[in-house]
């Protein structure tokens, strides 16, 4: 009797952890944690799970001790590893930027000549310096990179979501190296294994169903018989709306999943097309 397929999943510990765990919970995947909290059990069969720092997830995926995991695109680029990107969640968006005190800049660029760059992103920074033909020397940091200028470095390369921390430390952004977000990656060899690939692709379907649902809302509308086609024509639904007759032939009930970000304008359009009694509700998952 053959052993069941087990896929080794890495979940991020730290800044990304809450959003990823909420994403899984919204997909109906429950996590039960052990006493130490590093090896949760998933309610979804076929997975053995461990919590790791995002940087370590990238490395473990690269060497193949983990089959699939959530990590930031910035660390995949920094580690220069070949992984299969399965899905971009769009969560935890950050920019990798170069920043310094304004006095260090000359016409928006670092002053000519040698200078010191403090960063956790050594490879990304060196590639940027080479690309821009700058004479920077890299100093590796281990957190709190923003405090290095001006005494211990001329500028920094760091990640930022709002820029508030940089600004609070008197630093101004003068270059953007990369944009990153939380993404689901797989080891290439795991995707070449048909049994593992099937398990992994099922996880992708569940994750994608939640992310797609977050972009849409369900609208339910009543409309008189003579205005049904005009209403259907203005609904940006996924394929076709669901239409049901109302009691005594008084009209129709129309239901459609529509883009969330266009809702304020759409409601006015629906009203103009004859729609009434509009009900808007959240969607948990959308599976094609």
Separation of alpha carbons 27 and 206, rounded Å: 6
Which pLDDT score is estimated for 112? 87
- Token pair listed for 75: 């660390």
* Segments making up each domain of the chain, as ranges: 7-91+181-213, 95-180, 216-282
Which pLDDT score is estimated for 2? 54
Q: What is the mean pLDDT of residues 175-187?
A: 97
Phi-psi label, residue 277: left if phi above 0, alpha if psi -120 to 50, beta otherwise:
left
Phi-psi label, residue 259: left if phi above 0, alpha if psi -120 to 50, beta otherwise:
beta
Q: What is the CA radius of gyration of the chain?
A: 25
Residues contacting 15, CB < 8 A, separation 6+: 92
Q: What is the mean pLDDT of residues 154-165?
A: 94
Nearest partner of 98 among 72, 53, 134, 73, judged by Cα:
134
Q: What is the mean pLDDT of residues 160-170?
A: 93
| CATH (one of 3.40.50.150, 3.20.20.240, 3.40.190.10, 3.60.40.10) for 7-91+181-213 | 3.40.190.10
- CB of 159 closer than 8 Å to CB of 149: no
Given pLDDT bands bounded at 50, 70 and 90, which one contains residue 3?
Answer: low
Q: What is the mean pLDDT of residues 33-42?
A: 87
SS3 call for 252: strand
In the predicted model, is pLDDT for residue 180 greater than 80? yes
Which pLDDT score is estimated for 1? 45
Q: What is the mean pLDDT of residues 171-195?
A: 96
Residue with tokens 């670092």: 110
Per-residue pLDDT tens over the stretch 83-128: 999 999 999 999 999 999 999 998 888 988 999 999 999 999 999 9
Given pLDDT bands bounded at 50, 70 and 90, which one contains residue 15?
Answer: confident
Which pLDDT score is estimated for 230? 95
User: What residues form DSSP beta bridges with 221?
Assistant: 254
Whether the domain at 7-91+181-213 and the domain at 216-282 fall into the same CATH topology: no
In the predicted model, is pLDDT for residue 44 greater than 70? yes
Topology adopted by domain 216-282 = Alpha-Beta Plaits (3.30.70)
Which pLDDT score is estimated for 84? 98
Handedness of CA 127, 131, 137, 140 (dihedral sign): negative
Separation of alpha carbons 267 and 235, rounded Å: 10
CATH number of 95-180: 3.40.190.10
In the predicted model, is pLDDT for residue 36 greater than 60? yes
Query: Is-above-0.85 flag for pTM?
Result: yes
Per-residue pLDDT tens over the stretch 184-229: 999 999 999 999 999 999 999 999 999 999 999 999 999 999 999 9
DSSP annotation of 120 reads: S
Which pLDDT score is estimated for 62? 97
Q: What is the mean pLDDT of residues 145-154?
A: 94
In the predicted model, is pLDDT for residue 233 greater than 70? yes
DSSP annotation of 161 reads: S
Pairing of strands 7-12, 47-52: parallel
Question: What percentage of residues in the chain have a pLDDT greater than 90?
Answer: 91
- CB of 250 closer than 8 Å to CB of 203: no
In the predicted model, is pLDDT for residue 34 greater than 60? yes
In the predicted model, is pLDDT for residue 35 greater than 80? no
């Amino acid at each position: 009797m053959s052993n069941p397929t087990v896929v080794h999943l890495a979940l991020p510990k730290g800044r990304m952890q809450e959003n990823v765990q909420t994403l899984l919970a919204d997909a109906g995947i429950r996590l039960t944690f052990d006493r130490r909290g590093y090896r949760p059990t998933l309610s979804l069969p076929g997975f053995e799970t461990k919590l790791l720092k995002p940087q370590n997830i990238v490395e473990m995926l690269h060497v193949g001790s983990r089959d699939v995991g959530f990590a930031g695109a910035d660390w995949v680029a920094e580690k220069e590893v070949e992984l299969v990107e399965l899905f971009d969640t769009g969560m935890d968006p950050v920019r990798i930027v170069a920043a310094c005190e304004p006095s260090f800049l000359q016409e928006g660029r670092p002053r000519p000549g040698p200078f010191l760059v403090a960063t956790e992103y050594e490879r990304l920074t060196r590639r940027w310096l080479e690309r821009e033909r700058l004479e920077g020397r890299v100093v590796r940091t281990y957190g709190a990179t923003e405090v290095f200028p001006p005494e211990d470095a001329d500028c920094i390369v760091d990640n930022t979501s709002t820029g508030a921390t940089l600004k609070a430390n008197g630093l101004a952004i003068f270059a953007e190296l990369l944009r990153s977000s939380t993404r689901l990656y797989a080891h290439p060899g795991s995707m070449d294994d048909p049994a593992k690939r099937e398990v992994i692709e099922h996880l992708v379907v569940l994750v994608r169903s939640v992310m797609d649902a977050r972009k849409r809302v369900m609208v339910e509308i009543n409309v008189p018989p003579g205005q049904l086609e005009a209403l259907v024509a203005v609904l940006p639904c996924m394929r076709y709306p669901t239409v049901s007759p109302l009691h005594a032939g008084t009209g129709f009930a129309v239901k459609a999943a529509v883009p969330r970000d266009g809702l304020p304008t759409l409601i006015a359009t629906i009203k103009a097309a004859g729609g009434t009694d509009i009900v808007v509700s959240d969607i948990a998952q959308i599976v094609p």
